[in-house]
Structure 1
Amino acid sequence: MIDTLHPALLFILGAGLLWLLPLAGRRALILLVPAAAFVVITQLEPGSAWHYRMFGFDLALLRVDKLSKAFGYVFTINAFACFLFALHLKTRHEHSAALAYIGASLGAVFAGDLISLYLFWEVMAVTSTFLVLARNTERANGAAFRYVMVHIFGGLCLLAGILLQVQASGSVAFDGFDLRSLPTYLILLGFLVNAAAPPFSAWLSDAYPEATVTGGVIMTAYTTKTAVYTLIRGFAGWEILMVVGCVMAIYGIIYAILENDMRRILAYSIINQVGFMVCGIGIGTAMAISGVVAHAFCHIIYKALLWMSAGSVLYMTGKSKCTDLGGLYKTMPLTMIFGTIGALAISSFPGLSGYTSKPMIIEAGVHEGLYWVWLVLEIASAGVFLHAGIKFPYFVFFAKDNGLRPGEPPRHMLAAMALLAFFCLFLGVYPQPLYAVLPFEVDFHAYTFEHTLNQFQLLMFSALAFFLLLPLLKRTETISIDSDWFYRRGGRLFYGLADKALNGLNSWGDQLFIKRIPGLLARFFEEPGSNVQKHGLRLLAEAAGDESELRQQEERIEHRSRQGAYPVGTWVLLAVVFLTALAVLVIP
C-alpha cells in the first residue's frame, strides 16, 4: 500500500491533526510527517494512481517518475530541516499553514493532469499567505495582501489557459506543450508569475522578508521551485525562457547589490538563482534539464541555510538591516560559519553543492553553441559571489561593529543549520547520489583541472571587485524601488479613478432611474387623462403665445378628473404596456 500512498496526504492530514495535539505531540508530529513522506517517496513506483473523475475527464492525483520524485525528495528533506528550525514555536496556526503549504506543493509536483495541478496551485497560494500574516505587523499585512493579489492574477491566467487548452485539445494532460498558442502562453504566464519572473517578481522580495523568521525559511523552497518543476514538465525547450532566465539572473543581482535589508538581499538572490533554472529549461537538452533539477535540489538546501542564518540573526537581535548589524562573529560564531557555508555554496565554490550543480546548466549552453547564454550566466555567477557570497556575510557578521552582542540561537536552530550545511558539503564532495535521482543520466565532471581553475579565477575576480568597490557598496539607509511600485501607487490611483468614475455613474443612475423617473411616472399615472390634456393645452398655449386662460382651463380639467370624467381602463392598459416594454429592455 505504501507504494501508492500520496506523500501530500501526510502533510495535509498532519495540518489537521496538529490542532488536536499538545505541544510535545505537535513537535513530534512536524518532524515525523516529512520523515515519513520521504520514506513514502522512496517506495513510490513509476506510474499513476489516485484516479478520479471530474468534469467528464479521468484525472490522477499521483503521477510518479524520476522528475517528480527528485523534487519530492528535496521538498521533504527541506521540510524536516525547516520544522527542526521552527521547533520553538508554540502556536498551532503557523505550523498548520506550513504543513498544508508543503503538502499542496507536493500535490502540485505529483499531479497527473492540469485540473489537479490547478487545485493544488491555488491551495499553495492561500496557505503560504498565512506565513506572512503570522508576523502580525502592519508591513506584513500589507505585503500579504499584495502577495495574494499577485497570485490571484497568476492563478486566473493559469485557469484561463487551462480552460482554453481543454476546449482546444479536449485533453487535460499535463505534458510538454508543443503548440504555441494563446492557451499555452496563458499557462506559461501563470507559471512565470510563481517563478518570480520580472516584471512579476516584486511579490517575492516584498512578502518573503516580511514573513516570520521561520515562515520566511519555509517559503524560500516551494512556490518558485514548484513553478520550476511545472516549467520543466510543460515548456522544456521553449527558447523564450532562455531570455527570461538571463533577465532574471541579472535582475536579481542588481537589486541584491542595491539592497540594505539582509533578508531582501537573499530574496533577490532567489530571483537570480531561479533565473539560471529557467534559462536551463529554455535550453531544453537532457544535460540542461538534469542541471536544472540538480541546481533546484541544491538551491533549496543552501538557500534555506542562508535564510536560517539570517533568521537566527533577526531572532536574536530583532534587526534585519545591514546598517544595523555587523561584528556578530564575536558572539554568533556558529551561525556565521553555517551562513558562510551557504554563501559559498550559492557561489559555486569548489567543494560545495553549488559547484556540482549550477555549472551543468552553463555547460549545456556551451554544448549547444549558445555563447551569449554562457556569457550572461558567467557574469551572473560572478555577481552571485559578489552579493550573496561576500556581501551578505561581510555586512552581517563583520564590517562595522554596531555593539550588538547576542548569543547563539537555540540549539534546535543550530542543529537545523548544521544538517543543511552537511548536505552542502556532502553534495559538493560526492554528488553521485544527487546525479542518480536526476531525470536523465548525467555525464558531467565538475572537478576537472580546467573547470576548477576557471571557477577560482571567476570567484577571486569577484572578491577583488568587491573589496576595491567597497566604498561604493557600503550600505546606507536606502529603499530600493522595484516594480511593485506600480501596483502600490498605481493601484491606489486606479481605485480612486474607479471610485469616482464608476460610483459617480452609479450615483447618477440612482438619482435618475431610481428616484426621479419613477417619481415622475408615479405622478403621471395618478391622473393620466388630465395630465395628458393639461400638457396638450400648455403646448397649444405656448404655440399661440396666449397663456391668459391656461390656468382656468387646467383647474376645469382637474375638477373633471376629481368627478371621474376620464376613463381608467385605457390608462391602466397603457401603464401595463409601458411596464412590459421596460421589463423587456432592462431585464436580460
Structure 2
Amino acid sequence: MPEILSPAFVYVAGAFAALIPWRIPRAVILLAIPLVALASFVSLPYANYDLLNIFDLQLGFLRLDALSFVFALVFSLAAFLSLLFAFHLRDRLEQAASLIYAGAAIGAVFAADLLTLFIFWEGTALASVFLIWARRTEGAWYTGLRYLAIQIGSGLLLLAGLILRYHDTGSIAFEHMELDSLGTWLIFLSFGIKCAFPLLHNWLQDTYPAATLTGSVTLSAFTTKLAVYALARGFAGTESLIYIGAVMTIFPVFFAAIENNLRRVLAYSINNQIGFMVVGIGIGTPLALDGTVAHAFAHVIYKGLLFMSVGAVMYRTGTAKASELGGLWKSMPLTMAFCVVGAMSISAFPLFSGFVSKSLILSASADTGHFVVWLTLLVASVGVLEHSGIKIPYSMFFGHDRGLKVKEAPLHMLIAMGLAAALCVGIGIWPQPLYGLLPYPVDFHPYTTDHVVTQLQLLFFAALAFAMLIRYGLYPVELRSINLDFDWFYRRLLSGMMIVVADQVRTAWRGLVRSVDYRLDRLLVAVYRTHGPEGILARTSQTGAMVFWIAVLLGITLALTYL
C-alpha cells in the first residue's frame, strides 16, 4: 500500500498555525486546514493505508471504507463550519484546541485497531477540555476538570478492555465484537460514556453550556458522534442498544422543556437525537445502520446550525437564557431564518434533512417488529419539535419582546449558518447523494404519501399542543436555576452523604485525640512519679542492693544466651 498519512496529522500539524500573531492571516490558514485534510482522502479508493508494525502489533491509522468515509466527511465539514463561525476569535489557544480536537476525532474514525483508537480517543478529551477552559471563569475551570475526569475515565476503560481482549484473542483489531467477555464489556462501557448513555449522560449538559459560544459549536459535532461511530463499528446488532437508545430519546424531553439555558436545551436534545442513532445500531439491519449513519450526518449539520444561532444571539446579547430573550426577529432576521431551518430539520419536517434520515430508522424499527420502540420514537419526535423545533426559535425571536435592540450577527457567522442551512435544505430536497454514501445500498423513498402525511399530522398536532399550552399558561415554566436529573445523586445525595461522613470522621478524630491526650497525661504523671525528684529511682540506693540487681540482670542474660 502507498504511504498515505492519516488526515488527523494534517490537523495536528496545522494547529501550529495558531502561533501566527496576525489574526486574519491566521484565521484564513486555519480555515484552509480542514479543506486540505478533506482533499487528502476524499478521492482515495477504499483500503487500509498508513500501517505500522510495532512490537508484533499492526497499527492502522487510515482505514478507509464506507462507514469511516461518511463520518470523516461530515467531521471535516463541521470543522470548516465551526472555524468559519469562529473567524473573529483572537484566542489562539482555543483555535489550536479546535483543530487538534477535530483532527483527533477524524483520526479515531480512521483507526483500524483499538490501540490507535485509544490514542485518538484520549486526544479528543485532552484537546476539547480547552474549549471549556478558554472561557476563563472559575465555573468553567471546575466544569472542565469534571469533564476531563469523565473522558479520561472512558479512555482508561477502553485501554483496559483492549488489553483484556488482546489477552483473550491475541488481536487488537477494531472490528465487530460480542459482549461475551470482560474486555468487550469494558469497551462497550467506554463507548457508552462518550455516547452519553442514560445515567452516564450528565457530563454533556454540564459541559456544553460552560464552553465558549464558539467552543460549544465545535463540541456539538464530534464527541458523541465519534461514540456513535464506534458503536456502529464494534457493536452493531447488539439488542440491548435498542432499549438503551429508546430511553435516550424519551428522558430528555421533560428536562429540556423546563430548562432556561438554551444551550442546555440543545445539550438535552443531543441525548434525544443520539438515542435514534443508538436504536438503529441496536437493530443492526442494513436499513437501520444506513439510517444511523445518515442521521448522524444530518445531526452534525443541523445541531451545529442551532448551536451557531444560539451562539450568534449570545454574541450580541451576552446571554442564552430564555427568560432574558425574545423579540429578536426584527434585529436579527437572518439569524432567525437560519435558526428556523435548523429547527425544522431537527423536527424532521419534510424537505429538511432530519426527515430523510430519521425516516430510515423509523422504517427499520417497524420492519423488524419493534412496535413499542417505533411508538417510543414517534413520541420522542413530538418532544423534539417541542423543545428544539419550537422552543429555541420562539424563545429567542418570537416570544415576549424584551426590548433588546442589537445588530445582526457578524458576516462570517452568517455565512457559516447559511452554508449549514443550505446543507439542511439540500439534503432534505435531494437525499440521494447522501444515500449514495451510506455503507449499504439504499432502496428507500422517504417522500411517500404515508411518510409525509404521517409526519405532517404528528408535527401539526404537536405544534397545536404547544400553542394551546402557551395560550392557557400550562406550558412548564423554565426554572431559572441549574436543573438536576440523575446528577442529583452525586451533586446532592452523594455530596450530603460525604458531608455527614466528614462530620462523623471529624468527631471520631477529635475523640481519638482527646483519648490519646488523656493517656499521654497519665503516662507523664506515672513517669514523673517514678523518675521525678521524689520518685523511687531518685532515691539513694545501698551498694549491696545495686550489686544484687546487677547479679539478677546478669543471670537473666546468661539464661537467655545458653538456654
TM-score w.r.t. structure 1 length?
A: 0.85
Do the aligned residues in 1 keep the contact of 2:258 with 2:479 (CA within 8 Å)?
Answer: no
Aligned to 2:269: 269
**Alignment partners' CA distance in 2, 1:328 and 1:306:** 16
Q: Name stretches of at least 5 consecutive residues in structure 2 with no aligned partner.
A: 524-529
- SS state of the match for residue 237, structure 2? coil
**Alignment partners' CA distance in 1, 2:46 and 2:503:** 58
1:445-484 equivalent positions in 2, closer than 5 A: 445-470=445-470, 471-473=473-475, 475-479=477-481, 480-484=483-487
Could you say if the C-alpha distance between residues 423 and 202 of structure 1 is closer, same or farther in structure 2, counting changes exceeding 3 Å? Answer: same
Do the aligned residues in 1 keep the contact of 2:259 with 2:479 (CA within 8 Å)?
Answer: no
Could you say if the C-alpha distance between residues 145 and 492 of structure 1 is closer, same or farther in structure 2, counting changes exceeding 3 Å? Answer: farther
Any idea what the Cα deviations from partners look like across 1:499-548, whole Å, max 9, x if unmatched? Answer: 67899999999999xxx99xx9xxxxxxxxxxxxx9xxxxxxxxxxxxx9
Aligned to 2:360: 360
Aligned to 1:279: 279
Aligned to 1:254: 254
Amino acid at match of 2:370: L
Aligned to 1:62: 62
- 1:485 paired with 2:488, answer yes
1:314-463 equivalent positions in 2, closer than 5 A: 314-463=314-463
Could you say if the C-alpha distance between residues 55 and 504 of structure 1 is closer, same or farther in structure 2, counting changes exceeding 3 Å? Answer: farther
Aligned to 1:301: 301
Aligned to 2:83: 83
**Alignment partners' CA distance in 2, 1:179 and 1:262:** 38
Any idea what the Cα deviations from partners look like across 1:212-243, whole Å, max 9, x if unmatched? Answer: 01000000010000000000000000000001
Do the aligned residues in 2 keep the contact of 1:4 with 1:45 (CA within 8 Å)?
Answer: no
Do the aligned residues in 2 keep the contact of 1:323 with 1:477 (CA within 8 Å)?
Answer: no
Amino acid at match of 2:330: K
Aligned residues: 544
Q: Which range moved further: 203-212 or 141-150?
A: 141-150
**Alignment partners' CA distance in 1, 2:17 and 2:369:** 53
- SS state of the match for residue 52, structure 2? strand
Aligned to 1:580: none
Displacement of 1:549 in angstroms is 8.9
Aligned to 1:525: none
Any idea what the Cα deviations from partners look like across 1:294-314, whole Å, max 9, x if unmatched? Answer: 000000000000000000011
Amino acid at match of 2:37: A
Do the aligned residues in 2 keep the contact of 1:14 with 1:99 (CA within 8 Å)?
Answer: yes
**Alignment partners' CA distance in 1, 2:511 and 2:181:** 43
Could you say if the C-alpha distance between residues 256 and 558 of structure 1 is closer, same or farther in structure 2, counting changes exceeding 3 Å? Answer: farther
Displacement of 1:556 in angstroms is 7.2
**Alignment partners' CA distance in 2, 1:122 and 1:194:** 11
Displacement of 1:465 in angstroms is 0.9
TM-score w.r.t. structure 2 length?
A: 0.89
Could you say if the C-alpha distance between residues 254 and 549 of structure 1 is closer, same or farther in structure 2, counting changes exceeding 3 Å? Answer: closer
Q: Which range moved further: 422-431 or 182-191?
A: 182-191
Aligned to 2:243: 243
Amino acid at match of 1:137: T
Any idea what the Cα deviations from partners look like across 1:321-348, whole Å, max 9, x if unmatched? Answer: 1111000001011000000000000011
Displacement of 1:290 in angstroms is 0.6
Aligned to 1:527: none
Any idea what the Cα deviations from partners look like across 1:338-389, whole Å, max 9, x if unmatched? Answer: 0000000001101111111111001011111111111000111111111111
1:548-563 equivalent positions in 2, closer than 5 A: none
Could you say if the C-alpha distance between residues 124 and 12 of structure 1 is closer, same or farther in structure 2, counting changes exceeding 3 Å? Answer: same
**Alignment partners' CA distance in 1, 2:237 and 2:426:** 31
Aligned to 1:126: 126
Do the aligned residues in 1 keep the contact of 2:257 with 2:476 (CA within 8 Å)?
Answer: no
Do the aligned residues in 2 keep the contact of 1:352 with 1:429 (CA within 8 Å)?
Answer: yes
1:132-151 equivalent positions in 2, closer than 5 A: 132-151=132-151
**Alignment partners' CA distance in 1, 2:155 and 2:509:** 30
Could you say if the C-alpha distance between residues 565 and 2 of structure 1 is closer, same or farther in structure 2, counting changes exceeding 3 Å? Answer: same
Displacement of 1:107 in angstroms is 1.0
- 1:166 paired with 2:169, answer no
Amino acid at match of 1:433: P
- SS state of the match for residue 442, structure 2? coil
Could you say if the C-alpha distance between residues 503 and 51 of structure 1 is closer, same or farther in structure 2, counting changes exceeding 3 Å? Answer: farther
**Alignment partners' CA distance in 1, 2:232 and 2:542:** 86
Amino acid at match of 1:263: R
What percentage of aligned pairs have identical amino acids?
A: 45
Displacement of 1:210 in angstroms is 1.0
Q: Which range moved further: 28-37 or 302-311?
A: 28-37
Aligned to 1:526: none
**Alignment partners' CA distance in 2, 1:274 and 1:373:** 15
Aligned to 2:527: none
Aligned to 1:523: none
Do the aligned residues in 2 keep the contact of 1:244 with 1:279 (CA within 8 Å)?
Answer: yes
**Alignment partners' CA distance in 2, 1:558 and 1:153:** 73
Displacement of 1:472 in angstroms is 2.2
1:515-530 equivalent positions in 2, closer than 5 A: none
Aligned to 1:43: 43
Displacement of 1:58 in angstroms is 1.8
Amino acid at match of 1:340: V
**Alignment partners' CA distance in 2, 1:298 and 1:222:** 13
Any idea what the Cα deviations from partners look like across 1:66-101, whole Å, max 9, x if unmatched? Answer: 100100000001111110000000121000111111
**Alignment partners' CA distance in 1, 2:502 and 2:255:** 35
**Alignment partners' CA distance in 2, 1:91 and 1:491:** 37
Could you say if the C-alpha distance between residues 181 and 557 of structure 1 is closer, same or farther in structure 2, counting changes exceeding 3 Å? Answer: farther
- SS state of the match for residue 206, structure 1? helix
**Alignment partners' CA distance in 2, 1:375 and 1:109:** 32
**Alignment partners' CA distance in 2, 1:216 and 1:275:** 20
Amino acid at match of 1:155: G
- 1:178 paired with 2:181, answer no
Any idea what the Cα deviations from partners look like across 1:233-262, whole Å, max 9, x if unmatched? Answer: 000000000010000000122211121111
**Alignment partners' CA distance in 2, 1:149 and 1:300:** 25
Amino acid at match of 1:356: V
Aligned to 1:209: 209
Any idea what the Cα deviations from partners look like across 1:179-233, whole Å, max 9, x if unmatched? Answer: 5222211111110111111101111111101100100000001000000000000
Displacement of 1:149 in angstroms is 1.9
**Alignment partners' CA distance in 2, 1:564 and 1:343:** 102
Q: Which range moved further: 427-436 or 19-28?
A: 19-28
Amino acid at match of 1:276: F
Displacement of 1:491 in angstroms is 5.5
Amino acid at match of 2:333: P
Displacement of 1:2 in angstroms is 9.0
- SS state of the match for residue 33, structure 1? helix
Any idea what the Cα deviations from partners look like across 1:373-407, whole Å, max 9, x if unmatched? Answer: 11000111111111111111111111111111111
Q: Which range moved further: 375-384 or 501-510?
A: 501-510
Could you say if the C-alpha distance between residues 441 and 499 of structure 1 is closer, same or farther in structure 2, counting changes exceeding 3 Å? Answer: same
Could you say if the C-alpha distance between residues 21 and 478 of structure 1 is closer, same or farther in structure 2, counting changes exceeding 3 Å? Answer: closer
- SS state of the match for residue 214, structure 2? helix
Could you say if the C-alpha distance between residues 107 and 562 of structure 1 is closer, same or farther in structure 2, counting changes exceeding 3 Å? Answer: farther
Do the aligned residues in 2 keep the contact of 1:105 with 1:121 (CA within 8 Å)?
Answer: yes
**Alignment partners' CA distance in 1, 2:59 and 2:201:** 32
- SS state of the match for residue 329, structure 2? helix
- SS state of the match for residue 61, structure 1? strand
**Alignment partners' CA distance in 2, 1:358 and 1:23:** 41
Do the aligned residues in 2 keep the contact of 1:295 with 1:358 (CA within 8 Å)?
Answer: yes
Q: Which range moved further: 30-39 or 237-246?
A: 30-39
